[in-house]
Structure 1
Amino acid sequence: MYKINFNTSEFLSTHWQKEPLVIKGAFSNFVDPMSADELAGLACEEEISSRVVITKENNWEIIQGPINDYEQFGEDNWQLLVQAVNHWFPDSASLIEAFRFIPDWRFDDLMVSFATPGGGVGPHIDNYDVFLLQGEGTRRWKVGAKGNYTPRGGDTHTALIDDFEPIIDVVLEAGDMLYIPPGFPHCAQTLTTALSYSIGFRAPSQQELFSSVADHLLDTNTGLKRFTSTSEPVAASSVSIEHQKGMLSLLNELLKQPEQYQTVLGQLLSQNRFELDLSDPESPYQREDLTDALSEGAEIHRIGGLKVIKLEGDTEQRLFINGDIFACEQLTSEEIEHLANAFIIDNQQALTLCGSSAMSEMFVGLLNKGFYYLA
């Protein structure tokens, strides 16, 4: 079990999305949740996003996974990066749980890196919040102030930038952590062979929000109200200010309707950027199968990375899970809270919850979706 050694309320009020922070000893006696060999094994899999970054003089070469041969890279100046490790490696779940002082909907993924001396990524700027937790080994991190930086090589599609003047220059050891909000340039250099953990948090962009609204309106065949006006411009070629504002007010009207925006937000915020490791059953579960398994001591586990979201003030009693809507009219508010918050439902809790036929049916549906599994 991992426990954070700093005041999270103070952190959220003074640093979260405001300024970088070095937290020495963020985790006491930190033990890596995985080994370098286990990380390399994940990088062999086709469905898992991975890459090797090779440090060259004033440049970096990226080799996309799957990666099966590491001898070709030598003993220094490279690092392996594997995305969404929490989806594929259950033992990482307790590390993720330590960061749930930030809402689940913001959580993006756990990226793990293995780096040899000299390995690292060049100066770059991310558009998300990230906690950089050091495991085995040591890495030197530099962070710069927010500002207008030139994209490396003039490429506006890259996060890489030209160098910056550091406001933070620190060596992280096991259990140390660096928090970086969006927009602050940073880079790392590996001093001794190291495992590092990047816990990322992301919020939707305007593009993503508008795209989700449009998809929802098309899927539900709603938003059909058309613009009307009480006056017309004198020039036939002109679109008046009044007409421009009137058309945009149609969008504003839609976005004020909870029955529209709540569904959009619930579906969008419960989805993942990376593929999930669904636990599809060999044959569909029935209630009797669940009852038998629980009587033999089984627990109910949520698969890694699955987001179970509920909206405060929702116009309907429901949960959003991986972009799907699950109606919960037959469940109590306590049952909904338990389902939304628990990664693992132990045997005694599961037996109690499944005393309700509605809750039992809900679990059967989630098991058959591959979102949960019996352990």
Structure 2
Amino acid sequence: MNIKDLFANQSITAEEFLQRYWQKQPFLFRNTSLDFSSLPNPVQLFKLASEEDVQSRIIYSEDSKGYQAIYDDPDAWEDVSNFNPTLLVSDIEKWRPETMAILDAFPFIKSWRLDDLMISFAPTGASVGAHTDHYDVFLIQTSGTRQWSYDDKPLKKTELVKASDLSILNNYQAKTTVELKTGDVLYLPPEIPHHGISTSEDCMTCSIGMRAPSQSEMVMAFAEFIANRCDETNRFTDQGRMDSIYSFDNNDIEKFKQTILSAFGIKNDDWGQLFGQFFSEYRQLETLIETQPEHIGLWQKNPMVTFLYQISGDTCKLFIDGETFECAASFAQMICHQQTFERQNNEVFEKLVEAGYLQPVT
């Protein structure tokens, strides 16, 4: 597939986009040359949604204010066809790995920041309501047309529709309204309110969503990382004073605090370890495709998991689904950067095959 860079024939370069717009304000790419041949059409999308373990939703509204969701039941489409339904299918790239090729047009997106490719199909008038996302998103119009209304900054105050399964902004009045045609791409930073309405019967939109873990998620991962390294012999003790058996004072609190803080002997290398483990296992599907260990042809990465690596001096660590593999830098780069590769005669390759992280090209 020959996919041109997103910035080909545009009035802006990737460097200018990152400096002026990335995580700052929306930007509309008009008439790009992206190749959508790897993406499913509406018939294929409904078929994919019917497959086991594939996550899908039908969003509809009876009053164009509150929105309801039907999960993992694409056959319910006809039941709500009078209420302007939209079908959304998540994790397209995990079930159709060839669709990952579209990311070649986005040279600045780190693979480990990708949450998923989601595709929606919507006939004329369909919408999922005005809302915000906590992450960067690229909205790619792959067929038909859709009207997008959005602001250039996050809302200072938001009010949500109460009678709604989804978090829908109430009485949202957008500052900008545009219509996207096939090939147009709208970038929206986190927390920017937006509202899309299909304006054709063949409206399909592919969204590239970024991973944006919350601070609480990262702190929980940090706490688990520290806890797994704690010395079980380091226990809390009290001062043994003669006062009320039900009371505690600042000395007890300080002992409690110091016992916890003493566990934070984390080194610079440990931060890299935590980063690699966290981002390689963040929001992944649990199902791994069984491999064929004796396969002698080409191999490829399992699309269900995330691969990333860190080179530090003479050492290299390959991170997959929260696990760490020490290997040669050239091996990690081959596995991560190449689409397919020959079987390698080394222990790490065999471990990846056994774990289901690599699978044969059929």
TM-score (norm 1): 0.81
Where do 1:154-303 residues align within 5 Å? 159-192=167-200, 193-222=202-231, 239=250, 243=254, 247=258, 250=261, 254=264, 256-275=266-285, 278-281=288-291, 285=293, 289-290=294-295, 293=296, 298-303=297-302
Which deviates the most, 25-34 or 44-53?
25-34
Counterpart for residue 340 of structure 1: 336
Q: Secondary structure at 1:306's aligned position in 2?
A: coil
CA distance in structure 2 between the partners assigned to 1:342 and 1:223 by the alignment: 43
CA 1:115 to 1:156, structure 2 compared with 1: closer, same or farther past 3 Å?
closer
Task: Tell me by how many angstroms 1:368 deviates.
Answer: 2.3
Measure, in 2, the Cα distance between the counterparts of 1:135 and 1:300: 30
Cα separation, 2, equivalents of 1:174 and 1:261: 43
- Output the amino acid matched with 2:208: I
**Match of 1:278, SS?**
coil
Asked if the contact 1:277/1:304 (under 8 Å) is kept, the reply is: no
Q: Which residue of the partner structure matches residue 240 of structure 2? A: none
CA contact (8 A) 2:36 2:102 kept: no
Show the counterpart of 2:86: 79
List runs of 5+ in structure 1 lacking aligned partners: 229-235
1:367 equivalent to 2:353? Answer: yes
Q: Tell me the amino acid that sits aligned with residue 27 of structure 1.
A: S
Structure 1 Cα separation of the partners of residues 23 and 256 of structure 2: 33
What does the per-residue CA deviation read over 1:97-140, in whole Å, with 9 as the maximum and x for residues that have no partner?
A: 33342112211100111111111111111101100000111000
- Alpha-carbon distance in 2 for matches of 1:95, 1:256: 39
Query: Structure 1 pair 245/160, CA: closer, same or farther in 2 (3 Å)?
Result: farther
Match for residue 99 of structure 1 among 100, 103, 106: 106
Determine if contact 1:87/1:277 at 8 Å carries over to the other structure. no
- Is contact 1:93–1:304 with CA below 8 Å preserved after alignment? no
RMSD over aligned Cα atoms = 3.4
Contact 2:299 2:340 survives alignment (8 Å): yes
- For residues 234 and 325 of structure 2, what CA distance do their matches in structure 1 show? 29
Per the TM alignment, residue 266 of structure 1 is displaced from its structure 2 partner at its CA by 1.1
Q: Give how far 1:299 is off.
A: 1.9
Distance in 2 between the 1:64 and 1:33 partners? 22
SS in 2 for 1:72: helix
1:323 counterpart = 2:322: yes
Q: Is the 8 A contact 2:34 2:102 kept in 1?
A: no
State the partner residue of 1:45.
Answer: 51
Report the identity percentage. Answer: 27
Deviation at 1:255, TM superposition (A): 7.2
2:10 maps to what in 1?
Answer: none
State the shift of 1:323 in Å: 1.0
Match of 2:243 in 1: none
- CA drift of 1:28 comes to 4.7
**8 A Cα contact 2:66 2:164, kept in partner:** no
Alignment of 1:119 with 2:126, yes or no, is yes
The CA distance in 2 between the partners of 1:237 and 1:174, in whole Å, is: 67
Change (3 A) 1:49 1:211: same
Alpha-carbon contact 1:118-1:190 (below 8 Å) kept: yes
Q: How far does residue 4 in structure 1 lie from its aligned partner after superposition?
A: 2.6
> CA 1:111/1:257 → structure 2, altered by over 3 Å: closer, same or farther?
same
Structure 2 residue corresponding to 1:140, chosen from 139, 142, 147 = 147
How far does residue 305 in structure 1 lie from its aligned partner after superposition? 4.5
In structure 1, the residue corresponding to 2:75 is in which secondary structure? coil
Residues 157 and 216 of structure 1: CA distance in aligned 2, closer, same or farther (over 3 Å): farther
What secondary structure, in the 3-state scheme, does the structure 2 residue paired with 1:188 have? strand
Match in the other structure for 2:24: 18
Q: Structure 2 CA distance, aligned partners of 1:224 and 1:18? A: 49
Q: Is the 8 Å Cα contact of residues 51 and 65 (structure 1) preserved in structure 2? A: yes
Q: Gaps spanning 5+ residues in structure 2: where? A: 8-12, 238-246
